[in-house]
């Protein structure tokens, strides 16, 4: 399955819907206006007829989300492990029915958890400490690979390319930038983990294999950087993750272990590097 196999789910949902709201303030009259609100709906994931997880997310780019989630959860090894994908609308929400290779069913059983997904929650349903951190091999080191100028350019572009956020003010974004700092695609969602899964899923659907860490591109996210954001990036071969907000200590430690350059507080031309500063080019690191 590739990104062109079926129409983008934006045709199913734009990710927002109209509401009537009433604006007012101290010593101000109440005025009724139309407003666009970000959608947040329950989405159930089923793999080979097995109910796996129910999460709250924005119902756009659901194919990307399903592929990205399945990959970063370790259920599939590549996008080609997904044979079919259908989206079913029900009264209570949406069901994404995914058919995966039989060889992946064992991984599905190992990673299976009953998620009662709350927006932005990355660990809902985890039953033991052993399940928190996946066993991932560190990525190949990338010394001198990334330009500070490219990172600053990508951060500025991400701000202007968050169409859903500009409409609703309620979503996070994850963007993929090439080595020159030009963002090639952006995915948005009310949940930051969901936005990154959508980005990773889209990237996987563009490539029949796992994207290579040799790619000089990097991911930019509009949120803080948690350990799971780093873990998802590393699982998809992304060697640099740039966050607009702060990272957590667990995220920094994991980025150090997995050879991911983690940057935060990326605003304007400035950012702070928390792990693997040697991945910046010599001019940036001086």
- Options 37, 87, 121, 206, the catalytic residue: 121
For residue range 38-79, list pLDDT tens digits in order: 999 999 999 999 998 899 999 999 999 999 999 998 899 999
Compute the chain's Rg from CA coordinates.
Answer: 19
Residue 33 neighbours by CB distance under 10 Å: 9
**For residues 157 and 286, which has the higher predicted lDDT (pLDDT)?**
157
Contact assessment for residue 88 and residue 95, using Cβ atoms and an 8 Å cutoff: yes
Helices (H), 87-205: 105-111, 148-161, 163-168, 192-205
Percent of the chain, pLDDT > 90? 76
Compute the mean pLDDT over every residue in the chain, rounded to the nearest whole number: 87
Please identify which residue in the block is written with the tokens 């591109």. Answer: 217
Q: Name the token pair of 48.
A: 């080979």
Q: Name the band, by pLDDT with cuts 50, 70 and 90, for residue 106.
A: confident
- pLDDT on residue 285: 47
Distance CA 240, CA 119 (A): 25
From residue 215, alpha-carbon distances to 113, 173, 193, 236 in Å are 32, 21, 22, 11
- pLDDT confidence tier of residue 207, bands split at 50, 70 and 90: confident
Q: Would the CA dihedral through 181, 80, 260, 214 be positive or negative?
A: negative
Pick the closest to residue 122 from 175, 172, 182 (CA basis): 172
Q: Is 173 helix (H, G, I), strand (E, B) or coil?
A: strand
Q: How far apart are the first and last CA of the chain?
A: 44
Q: Is the pLDDT of residue 249 over 50?
A: yes
The domain defined by 148-285 carries CATH number 3.40.140.10: yes
| Alpha carbon distance 180, 33 (integer Å) | 42
pLDDT at 246: 97
Question: Catalytic site residue 104?
Answer: no
What is residue 114's predicted lDDT score, i.e. its pLDDT?
Answer: 41
248 compared with 213, residue with greater pLDDT: 248
Q: Note the pLDDT tens digit of each residue in 149-194.
A: 999 999 999 999 999 999 999 999 999 999 999 999 999 999 999 9
């Amino acid at each position: 399955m590739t990104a062109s196999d079926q129409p983008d789910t934006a045709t199913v949902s734009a990710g927002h819907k109209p509401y009537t709201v009433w604006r007012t303030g101290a010593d101000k009259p109440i005025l009724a206006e139309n407003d666009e609100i970000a959608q947040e709906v329950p989405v159930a994931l089923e793999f080979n007829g097995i109910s796996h997880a129910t999460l709250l997310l924005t119902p756009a780019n659901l194919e990307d989300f399903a592929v990205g989630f399945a990959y970063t959860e370790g259920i599939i090894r590549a996008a080609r492990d997904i044979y079919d994908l259908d989206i079913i609308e029900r009264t209570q929400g949406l069901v994404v029915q995914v058919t995966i290779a039989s060889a992946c069913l064992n991984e599905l059983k190992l990673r299976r958890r009953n998620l009662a997904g709350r927006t932005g929650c990355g660990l809902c349903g985890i039953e033991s400490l052993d399940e928190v951190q996946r066993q991932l091999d560190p990525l190949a080191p990338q010394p001198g690979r990334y330009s500070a100028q490219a990172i600053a350019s990508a951060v500025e572009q991400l701000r202007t390319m968050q169409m859903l956020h500009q409409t609703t003010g309620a979503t996070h974004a994850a963007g993929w930038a090439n080595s020159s700092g030009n963002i090639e695609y952006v995915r948005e969602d009310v949940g930051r983990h969901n936005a990154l899964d959508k980005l990773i899923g889209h990237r996987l659907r563009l490539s029949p294999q796992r994207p290579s860490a040799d790619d000089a591109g990097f991911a930019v996210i509009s949120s803080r950087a948690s350990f799971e954001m780093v873990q998802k990036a590393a699982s998809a071969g992304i060697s640099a993750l740039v966050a607009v907000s702060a990272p957590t200590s667990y995220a920094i430690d994991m980025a150090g272990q997995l050879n991911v350059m983690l940057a935060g507080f990326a605003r304007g031309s400035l950012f702070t590097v928390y792990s693997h500063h040697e991945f910046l080019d010599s001019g940036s690191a001086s």
